């Protein structure tokens, strides 16, 4: 019983660490994309471009 619980905890911890790496990569790519945007964009255009940056950054990780 203890072995089963230990294995389950190790799997959960491993999956959590992998998910964090994925999120770190997406955040880094999205930030790099946002840095290329001009400062003169209005709020609506900026929000649209921000969404596109997030979508493009997460595209390689799509299942």
User: pLDDT by residue (tens digit) across 21-36?
Assistant: 778 888 888 888 888 9
Domain extent at residue 56: 21-63
pLDDT score of 11: 55
In a domain, 49, yes or no: yes
CA atoms within 13 A on the CB side of 29: 17
pLDDT score of 37: 87
In a domain, 16, yes or no: no
Q: Are 49 and 37 in contact (CB under 8 A)?
A: yes
Name the token pair of 16: 């959590």
* Radius of gyration, alpha carbons of the chain: 18
Q: Are 51 and 63 in contact (CB under 8 A)?
A: no
In a domain, 9, yes or no: no
pTM over 0.85: no
In a domain, 30, yes or no: yes
In a domain, 5, yes or no: no
In a domain, 6, yes or no: no
């Amino acid at each position: 019983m203890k072995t089963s619980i230990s294995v389950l905890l190790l799997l959960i911890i491993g999956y959590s660490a992998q998910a964090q790496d994925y999120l770190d990569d997406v955040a880094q790519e999205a930030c790099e994309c946002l840095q290329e945007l001009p400062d003169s964009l209005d709020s609506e255009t900026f929000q649209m471009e921000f969404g596109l940056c997030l979508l493009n950054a997460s595209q390689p990780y799509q299942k």
